Chains A and B, each alone.
Chain A
Amino acid sequence: MSSLVFLLVRSAKNSFLELLRKPAKLILWVLVVAGIVGLFVLTMFTQESAERSADLVWLKGALLFLVLIFAIIAVQKGLSNGDVIFDMNDVNLLFVSPVSSRKILMYGILRMAKMAFLAGFFILFQSNSLSSNFGVGFWAVFLVLLAFILAVSLLQIISLLIYSLSNGRPKRKRIVRMITALIFLPLVVSLAVQLIRTGEPLTAISNTLNAPVASWTPVVGWAADAVVSVISGDLGRGILFFGLLAMTGVILILYIAFSNPDYYEDVLVATETTFEKKRGLSEGQINGEAISGKKVKISGTGIGGVGASAIFYKHWRESFRANTLGFWGMSSILTVCGAIVFSLFFRKGGGEGILVLLQTLMWMQIFFIGTGRGLKELYMHYIYLIPESSFEKILWSNFEIACKVLAESIVIFFAAGLIIKASLFMILACTAVYVLFSFMLLGINYVSLRWTGADISNGLMVFLYLIAVILIMLPGLAAAIVIGSLLGKAGVLTGLAILAIWELAAGMGCFWLSRSVIHRCDMPVMKTVK
């Protein structure tokens, strides 16, 4: 058996054996697989009722947008450090071994395809929504997954090629940026023209997606059109676009393998950077700013506060040093812009759209709340050693994210409310529900840590956290819906008020339960996976 086949087979076997040794991880995987199978079964039973399906153009749009995100990341990586297709152990053991560099490249690409599959794993959960929205069977899920894997793998190869051709050459980097802009320019121009012509964002997007310019946009358009063509019965066109993706990948691999067999240097920086990042994570440095190459201007210095409040003033200093707008980073700006664009679609809906926005933001907040500096502080030893009470340290370390959420929600809901023409009371109610929901999520995070002692894997911790969010929200939601539906016109506002009160009570309860968390759990360690 060749050494590379041995590596692939043995790694897969050992991963499986490790799964058997870790029951919690095994249960998680069993639940995931059961969930996917359950969704497939559900899809088969609900197919009949899904005759009134949405236009397939929106599936095309969603896929195009998804692949577009990966395309932007791939180009950015190509222009900075290149994409990661190898691990540090490959560099240390394989690169110095007497194995052909071309064979090693193929091994790397196979591993890359595995990573693309894992990145697209969530697609497998979409069978039910694909069925109910577009009236397609579970086979469509595999088509979407296939297109996604092909597109993401191709983008990783393109990223490697960009790095290989432009590393240390600013002029070539400019050319790459220009080519990238030129590739997407027709799509942007087409959308702009449609917007001016129709004045309706949804119609403009739909018309652009139906135009050939969307289908022929390299990689992103090919992947989207390949799936939609096969689903709509145009097999020839589908094969053409799937073929384009595969053929381009093969040609680029052959080009790299034969034009640049000494590609080791090109993948080294990205591999080392990723390795350092993982090592930093496992050593407690989970702050992304530590590995950012962004130049920081040091103007104001010093830290205010005393005792536990010094933690808040430290966060304040760190945030303003990292961003000109302080705790308002790029994520806040993107969220506000996204919410405004979102509101534009609902501006004729009579104010109801603000509830859809609230619901969407609440879902996002479940995952984004952990990006605050307060929770990150738990991965470093300082907060544990400061001679102040555990509760005060928790409160002050989360004060910054509380300010951030409050400021964000006021801007988002007032801007969206103006566009959607929602009433002032509705805007205030949505702001309160969102802010208190974030407060409750923080509390649930600490309760999860307190209850588990942080002595479980990160995956299981996230799973338990999600379950806890659902269980804790359920009584409040049920009460809000039941009481709200009994009150006719004033029902929505009353429902939101009930929800806000429930979130406040649940949040306070969670914080009270976790008041001694710093003294009652192991300092969590970010476990990195390969």
Chain B
Amino acid sequence: MINVLEMTKKYGKFTANDRISVTVESGELAVLLGPNGAGKSTLIKSVCGLLRFQGNITIGGYENHTVDAKRLLGYVPEFPVLYPMLTVAEHLEFIAKAYRLNQWEKRAEELLARFELDDKKKKLGKELSKGMQQKVSVCCALLPQPQAVIFDEPLVGLDPHGIRELKAVIAELRDSGCALMVSTHMIESMEDNWDVTYIMVKGRIERVCRRGDLEAGQSLADVYFSITEGKEKEAVQ
């Protein structure tokens, strides 16, 4: 569903992503891990069509800038940015109208109730806390029922209820056949559901790890630290 092939993104002389290839099938949860500055957000923004790049990115077989690809894609950005003068309900209405959705009201109600936003429908975007804004951002991304969803640090700023619900939503989306790409620093939050993990260091994918690749008793965190800290030790030596 999400196919990134030999993607390179440069800012002047600085290479943020260097010949990255990533594949996420339908019903698969891919986790992007890596230290700060590894290039995870750049990769995600490129997939979502927010950045120019060299290489090839397709969503459901469509080039990622096309209208067909956009129809399949949902995106939850790292920093939730809402329209300050729109209410929570109007954010969802705007998405519904812009995406030409039919009979979206019931789903919108369900999403708002799930993230405890149903009593805040008339609150303006600017009146919400960071965590609330993040929840609205998730609702906006999921309202069009996309077949591929990209999450950039989705759990940051959420309260415990929000974290639990979002983790449950991510699991449900995966079970329903949605392709998911999640960038996070909270490795343990994805331990239960991940299928494939891409560990990025300095703009490159250092390791692709499938759940079946793990040895007995080995966790995702063990793999991550063996890659990131192992390299540092080698460099020092």
Contacts and interface: CB of A to CB of B under 8 A. Distances in A.
Given A284-B77, A304-B97, A387-B99, 15 more contacts: A284-B79, A284-B81, A302-B93, A303-B94, A303-B97, A306-B100, A307-B97, A310-B94, A311-B98, A317-B85, A319-B85, A380-B83, A382-B95, A385-B75, A386-B98
Interface string A302-320: 1111111011011001110
Interface string A361-391: 0000000000000000000111011111100
Most chain B CB atoms below 10 A, which of A306, A318, A386: A386
Interface in A477-530: 519-523
Nearest to B121: A301
Most chain A CB atoms below 10 A, which of B68, B85, B100, B126: B85
Contact of A310 (B68, B79, B97): B97
A80 to B, nearest CB: 17
Determine chain A's interface SS by DSSP, over half rule.
loop
B71 interface: yes
Interface of B: 11-12, 45, 48-52, 65, 67-68, 70-71, 73, 75, 77, 79, 81, 83-87, 89-90, 93-95, 97-100, 122, 124-126, 140
Contact of A301 (B51, B84, B90, B97): B90
A78 to B, nearest CB: 24
A455 interface: yes
A287 interface: yes
Interface in A422-456: 453, 455
Interface string A280-293: 00011101011110
Nearest to A305: B97
A522 B50 contact: yes
Contacts of A298: 87, 122, 124
Contact of A308 (B49, B65, B98, B125): B98
A289 to B, nearest CB: 4
A277 interface: no
Contact of B90 (A302, A311, A519): A302
A397 to B, nearest CB: 11
A398 to B, nearest CB: 16
A290 B86 contact: no
Given A307-B98, A387-B67, A283 B87 contact: no
Contact of A523 (B45, B71, B87): B45
Given A302-B90, A387-B70, A455-B11, A321 B85 contact: yes
B81 A283 contact: yes
Which A-B residue pairs are the 10 nearest by beta carbons?
A: A283-B79, A310-B97, A387-B70, A290-B84, A318-B85, A519-B65, A523-B50, A387-B71, A310-B98, A284-B81
A284 B137 CA distance: 14
A381 B94 contact: no
Interface residues on A, range: 35 or more
Contacts of A69: none
A96 interface: no
B125 to A, nearest CB: 7
Interface string A450-475: 00010100000000000000000000
A319 B84 CA distance: 11
B148 to A, nearest CB: 12
A385 B69 CA distance: 9
A314 B94 contact: yes
Nearest to B67: A387
Determine chain B's interface SS by DSSP, over half rule.
mixed
A302 B122 CA distance: 11
A301 B122 contact: yes
A285 B85 contact: no
A437 B98 CA distance: 30
A313 to B, nearest CB: 7
A457 to B, nearest CB: 11
A453 to B, nearest CB: 6
A73 interface: no
A384 to B, nearest CB: 5
B120 to A, nearest CB: 12
A322 interface: yes
A384 B49 CA distance: 7
B49 to A, nearest CB: 6
Contacts of A453: 52
Given A306-B97, A385-B75, A296 B85 contact: yes
Contacts of A380: 81, 83
Most chain B CB atoms below 10 A, which of A308, A321, A385, A386: A385
A287 B84 contact: yes
A223 B86 CA distance: 45
Most chain B CB atoms below 10 A, which of A319, A384, A453: A384
Contacts of A306: 97, 100
Contacts of B124: 296, 298, 321
Contacts of B68: 387
A385 B67 contact: no
Nearest to A318: B85
B98 to A, nearest CB: 4
Nearest to B90: A303
A212 to B, nearest CB: 48
A298 B98 CA distance: 22
Contacts of A389: 67
A321 B52 CA distance: 35
Given A301-B89, A386-B99, A519-B65, A314 B83 contact: yes
Contacts of A310: 94, 97-98
A291 B81 CA distance: 13
A322 B86 CA distance: 10
